[in-house]
Chain A
Amino acid sequence: DTGVSQDPRHKITKRGQNVTFRCDPISEHNRLYWYRQTLGQGPEFLTYFQNEAQLEKSRLLSDRFSAERPKGSFSTLEIQRTEQGDSAMYLCASSLLAGGVGSSYNEQFFGPGTRLTVL
């Protein structure tokens, strides 16, 4: 499978614990996005990277959340001191930006998601 992969697929943790998720984008894609999806809602944007640079963060991303993409390939999303409200599906997507910043939309390819349950 050459699509976007995410690991783990499911994570159950206790409140107060730290968790880390990994996303491997499609290999040549230079953009990587993180979204969060809670029950009954559509995905909500959290943050995105262009290569290794984190260029935008949503207000949804509290200081307990941190994301990295150290070599411009895979990315990790860490949640510290998890709370029950963090329970959600965390989706990763990647795209290839062609034509420079401001060019028209480039399709985002989504991973299967990591389902987090905080007890």
Chain B
Amino acid sequence: AQRVTQPEKLLSVFKGAPVELKCNYSYSGSPELFWYVQYSRQRLQLLLRHISRESIKGFTADLNKGETSFHLKKPFAQEEDSAMYYCALSYGGATNKLIFGTGTLLAVQP
């Protein structure tokens, strides 16, 4: 079955420190992977998707099919990055439904 695993419920770092939010997935085909973010009192929104290969707000994520991982990275954390981050998978077909991980709360300390 398709599954997304985010092993860390909470990641606390200091401002300016590097950040890596881990995400592993299980799917035998070719999924599309995403990172969604939810800032305090705001709705869930798309941060980035692997096929676009963009850097959004300084964040990047590389799909590693060999390790079935899609870790989210940022070299220098900012306080405004504090939020809940969800890794999600879509295995296409007709639905394009999303399968989410349990989320990681990133807390950036001043």
Contact = CB atoms under 8 A, between A and B. Distances in A.
Interface of A: 3-4, 31, 33, 35, 40-45, 48, 55-56, 91, 95, 97, 101-102, 104-113
Nearest to A40: B102
Contacts, number: 62
Contact of A48 (B34, B92, B95): B95
Contacts of A109: 45
B43 A33 contact: no
Nearest to B101: A42
Interface in B74-96: 86, 88, 90, 92-96
Contacts of B34: 105
B89 to A, nearest CB: 10
Contact of B98 (A4, A40, A43, A97): A43
A102 B92 contact: yes
Given A104-B51, A110-B45, A112-B43, A45 B96 contact: no
Contact of A41 (B44, B88, B90, B102): B102
B101 A33 contact: no
Given A110-B44, A110-B45, A45 B99 contact: yes
A48 B97 contact: yes
A105 B32 contact: yes
A91 to B, nearest CB: 7
A54 B63 CA distance: 32
B44 A102 contact: no
A108 B49 CA distance: 12
Contacts of B4: 42
A56 B95 contact: yes
